[in-house]
Amino acid sequence: MSARTLPLLFLNLGGEMLYILDQRLRAQSIPGDKARKDEWTDVDRRRVMNDIISTMFNQKFMEELFKPQDLYSKKALRTVYDRLAHASIMRLNQASMDKLYDLMTMAFKYQVLLCPRPRDILLVTFNHLDAIKDFISDSPGILNLVDETFRRLIETYNCLSDGEFQLIRQTLLIFFQDMHIRVSIFLKDKVQNSNGRFVLPILGPVPWGTEVPGIIRIFNHKGVEVKRAEFTTAGNYVTPQREGSFELYGDRVLKLGTNMYSVTRPVETHMSGSSKKLASQAKENIAPNPLAKEELNFLARLLGGLDIQKPSGGETGFRLNLFTTDEEEEHAAQTRPEELSYKVINIEATQEPGRRAELSRILGELEVAEPRPDSAGKGEDLLALMDEL
């Protein structure tokens, strides 16, 4: 596995999360002069986006993220996004958070599968960051944080070889290989089958630096072409006009990673039969996990840089529903396979060596936190993810 995969995975999933939240917040927002106290306004939407993005691109957080390290479990990464999604006044209950994470992961999985060449995963990441910069274009301080991460990406990844990018792509595919959640957008566009597996197209531009298939060349021992044969392909391929820009500003050419929610349409997720069967077989072993200490140390480092902004004074959190109605959300919560509903983890992380020894014990004693008392009023609070570190 590649030790350089985590930043790309985090930033791309985070970009997809911001696309979804922006679309849902816009759909549910009410003009400020007409909104009741418990309703969203566009001012609330901008505040939520600013808070989440500033937390996501926190400088200390990015420094930890970019350190070479292996990917950890899906549950560990999911915990990070639970906390990140609640870095503002917005609150999601368990069913909506599950749906949000499903949409994020399936969207990025599709983008990784469709990348013409492994290096283009970096262009997908740049597309996400370009869109994030548009979300906070009126906030220069947060914009500088995103630009700094942009420069860090360029410095870290532009010098990597094609082989290293291939290893990154394989690491991502291994991470996503058992995820087959059906998404309505993909089903309607016929890019996903009813079993949740994606359909790869046999048309469009070939990878930059390659030729359209259809010719076989035979060379002698001196490297001189001595024979050529043509064959007909089933696909409709074309030569790319130019390579996308890997600089801070420029035309990325590749459209993967852009906002597919810019056109409003309902997005639903469904567990395929095979995924349900897999989930039912995925019950965790009660025996101690040998990687427990490593995973929890990883979370402690990663989350230690997140400065979560809590509602101040009497201010309460807004509840965001990713389903069409509250009834749909309640039904999803009741029918969700228990193995796929992530529990809330309380982790106390300090720099004292004596306290770190306790981290390996925590994994086997997961506690569900109680809702904070300030969650009443404008909506239901998701169970508190972690006490402030």
In a domain, residue 112? The reply is yes
Is the model's pLDDT at 314 over the cut of 70?
Answer: no
In a domain, residue 377? The reply is no
Question: 283 falls in which pLDDT band (50, 70, 90)?
Answer: very low
Look at residue 70 in the predicted model and tell me its pLDDT: 87
Average pLDDT value over all residues in the chain:
76
Coil, strand or helix at 366 = coil
More confident residue, 202 or 72: 202
Is the model's pLDDT at 287 over the cut of 80?
Answer: no
**Contacts for 177 with CB less than 8 Å, ≥ 6 apart:** none
Look at residue 285 in the predicted model and tell me its pLDDT: 38
* 288-303 pLDDT tens trace: 444 555 555 555 555 5
Cα–Cα distance for residue pair 254/258, rounded to 1 Å: 9
In a domain, residue 78? The reply is yes
* 15-43 pLDDT tens trace: 999 999 998 888 877 665 565 666 678 88
* 36-69 pLDDT tens trace: 666 678 888 899 999 999 999 999 889 989 999 8
In a domain, residue 72? The reply is yes
Q: Partners of 318 in the beta sheet?
A: 90
Cα–Cα distance for residue pair 85/289, rounded to 1 Å: 27
Question: 359 falls in which pLDDT band (50, 70, 90)?
Answer: very low
Q: Is the dihedral of CA 114, 302, 305, 316 positive or negative?
A: positive
Domain around 147:
5-202+244-268+292-347
2 to 170, 179, 277, 381: CA distances (angstroms): 8, 20, 30, 37
Look at residue 308 in the predicted model and tell me its pLDDT: 52
SS3 of 24-69: the string is HHHHHCCCCCCCCCCCCCHHHHHHHHHHHHHHHCCHHHHHHHCCCC
Look at residue 299 in the predicted model and tell me its pLDDT: 56
How many domains would you assign to the chain? Answer: 1
In a domain, residue 362? The reply is no
Q: Which is nearest to 71 in space by CA: 170, 143, 199?
A: 170
Question: 274 falls in which pLDDT band (50, 70, 90)?
Answer: very low
Look at residue 155 in the predicted model and tell me its pLDDT: 96
* 75-86 pLDDT tens trace: 888 888 988 888
In a domain, residue 286? The reply is no
Look at residue 321 in the predicted model and tell me its pLDDT: 57
Contact yes or no for 289/363 (Cβ under 8 A): yes
Is the model's pLDDT at 332 over the cut of 70?
Answer: no
* 252-269 pLDDT tens trace: 999 999 998 876 555 556
Average pLDDT on 122-137 reads 95
In a domain, residue 106? The reply is yes
* 205-247 pLDDT tens trace: 899 988 899 999 999 999 999 999 999 888 888 888 889 999 9
In a domain, residue 192? The reply is yes
Cα–Cα distance for residue pair 272/360, rounded to 1 Å: 34
Look at residue 370 in the predicted model and tell me its pLDDT: 35
Residues 306-325 as b/e (b if ≥16 CB within 10 A, e otherwise) read: bebeebeeeebbbbbbbbee
Which phi and psi (to 5°) does residue 296 adopt? -70, -35
